[in-house]
Amino acid sequence: MLTTALALGVLAVLLAWPVPVLLARSAWPAGSPGVALVLWQSIALAGGLAMIGALLVYGLIPFGANPVAGIRSLADHLATGSVPAGTSLDHVLALCGALLLGGHLVLNLAVTFVHAERQQRRHLNLVRLLSEPLEGRPGTRVIDHASPVAYCLPSVTHSATVLSRGLLSLLDPPQVRAVVAHEEAHLAQRHHLVLVAFKSWHSALPWFPIANRAENAVALLVEICLLYTS
């Protein structure tokens, strides 16, 4: 299993640095934003699994000839409170590292989603108090602000699109409808879930410069995607 662990480690390094750096510097994602968006998500998911898998497989070497047998043997040894011959501190540390890293990523993802949902709910309540519906569109709220602003607020029950008076003063009715359709498309395609996932990745691994680059690249790609579908 050492070969498998090394292969996963090499894959994790590639997906953590050179591959996303090359993707971020490439020009083609602007022409194929949907493909690039899926690729970014694949890199993030595969990179995380490769990091955890490399540690896990290395730690399971004394427990079995393959990962499945190793996991079964590990469960049996945990039940009996014993360790197989050949188990070293490196193997124990690798198993603990896999558990801690996996738990950290999953917990951070859950916390980020809960925090984002609470912020959106609080923001939506404030907008409902301080705005009025756009004529003919009850799901679109208008705030009394001079700056041109347009954004969407996702919600499980009642999502909203928010426009400012300053924006409405600059646009004619067809342009307003286009802006509203753009924001509603973000809601329909669940772009906020993608953005929160990459925000979680950045928050979980803040020392990874590529995590910040990935978050910014994905935020731009979701906007470009709508230009191709509008």
Average pLDDT per 10 consecutive residues for the chain, totaling 230 residues: 95 92 93 95 94 97 93 93 92 97 96 95 94 91 96 90 97 95 94 94 84 91 85
* The pLDDT value given to residue 205: 87
DSSP lists the bridge partners of residue 140 as 161
* The pLDDT value given to residue 140: 96
Q: What angle do CA 132, 138, 143 make, to 5 degrees?
A: 25
* The pLDDT value given to residue 40: 96
* The pLDDT value given to residue 136: 86
* The pLDDT value given to residue 211: 86
Q: Within 13 Å, how many C-alpha atoms sit on residue 158's CB side?
A: 12
* The pLDDT value given to residue 230: 61
Other C-beta atoms lying within 10 Å of the C-beta of residue 152: 22
Q: What angle do helix axes 191-204 and 33-59 make, rounded to 10 degrees?
A: 40
* The pLDDT value given to residue 50: 96
* The pLDDT value given to residue 208: 78
Rounded CA gap, 93 and 95, in Å? 5
